Chains A and B, each alone.
Chain A
Amino acid sequence: NAGVMQNPRHLVRRRGQEARLRCSPMKGHSHVYWYRQLPEEGLKFMVYLQKENIIDESGMPKERFSAEFPKEGPSILRIQQVVRGDSAAYFCASSPWLNRGQGNTEAFFGQGTRLTVV
C-alpha cells in the first residue's frame, strides 16, 4: 500500500506563472488536507477536501490559491500568478472516512512539494 504521493517533489516557477501541485492519497482514503510550511515557520493548515467537495478552506489565501479533489485522479493545489512569497514546502495528508467524533486515525503525510519562485 503506497503512502501519500506528492509530485513534483521540487518545482521552480517564475513570478507570474502558475504552479500545480498534485497529491494522491493513500489507497482507501477519501479525505485530503493541504498544509504549507513557509521558510523558518511551522506547518499551517490550508484546506480540507473530500471527493468533489471542499469542506474547510479556512487556511487558504483569499486570492490566487485554489484546490480540488475530483472524483477521479489526484487532488490538485493550484497557485496562479505566483509571487516570491509563495516559495514554501507544501504538504499533503490523507485520512480514511471516519464518523464525527472518531479521531483515532493517524495523519499520513506525503514527502511534500518544494516550490521555489524565482
Chain B
Amino acid sequence: KQEVTQIPAALSVPEGENLVLNCSFTDSAIYNLQWFRQDPGKGLTSLLLIQSSQREQTSGRLNASLDKSSGRSTLYIAASQPGDSATYLCAVPNSGGYQKVTFGTGTKLQVIP
C-alpha cells in the first residue's frame, strides 16, 4: 500500500525566501508524481507533473524533482511571494494502470509580507 508523507507539515517564511517542500513515498513503482496547490476552502490546482522517466520539471518559479529509487520528490519555490501561501500536496497514482491517487499529508505554507 502506497504511503505518501510530506515534510514539513507547516512552514512560515518571509517574502522573498527560496524554500523546499519535501515528499516521500513508500512504493517506488510509480508512473508519475504530481504537485498540487490548494487554497483554503478551494479546489486543487495542478502545479507540476513529473513522469517517472524525468528527473525534474519546471514552471516559472517552481521546480520539482523526482528520485524514484529513494522514494522522494522536492518542490522548490524561488523568491516566495505572499500569494504563494496555500497548502501544497504531492500525489502519486497507483501502479495498477489507472489514476487512483494517493495524496500526501500536505505542507501548509505561509509567506509573510
Contact = CB atoms under 8 A, between A and B. Distances in A.
Contact of A48 (B42, B98, B102, B104): B98
Interface residues of A, number: 29
Interface residues on B, range: 20 to 34
B46 A98 contact: no
Contact of A103 (B89, B97, B102): B97
A95 B93 CA distance: 12
B76 interface: no
A65 interface: no
Given A35-B101, A98-B97, A104-B51, 8 more contacts: A42-B104, A43-B103, A91-B43, A93-B101, A103-B32, A103-B52, A103-B97, A106-B49
B12 to A, nearest CB: 18
Contacts of A56: 96, 98, 100
Contact of B43 (A33, A42, A55, A109): A109
Contacts, number: 73
B31 A93 contact: no
Contact of B100 (A45, A105, A109, A114): A45
Interface in B19-43: 30-32, 34, 36, 41-43
B101 A33 contact: yes
Interface in A9-46: 31, 33, 35, 42-45
B44 interface: yes
B99 interface: yes
Contacts of A100: 96-97
Interface of A: 31, 33, 35, 42-45, 48, 55-56, 91, 93, 95, 98-112, 114
B105 interface: yes
Contacts of B106: 42
Nearest to A111: B43
A37 to B, nearest CB: 9
B64 interface: no
Given A104-B32, A106-B49, A45 B43 contact: no
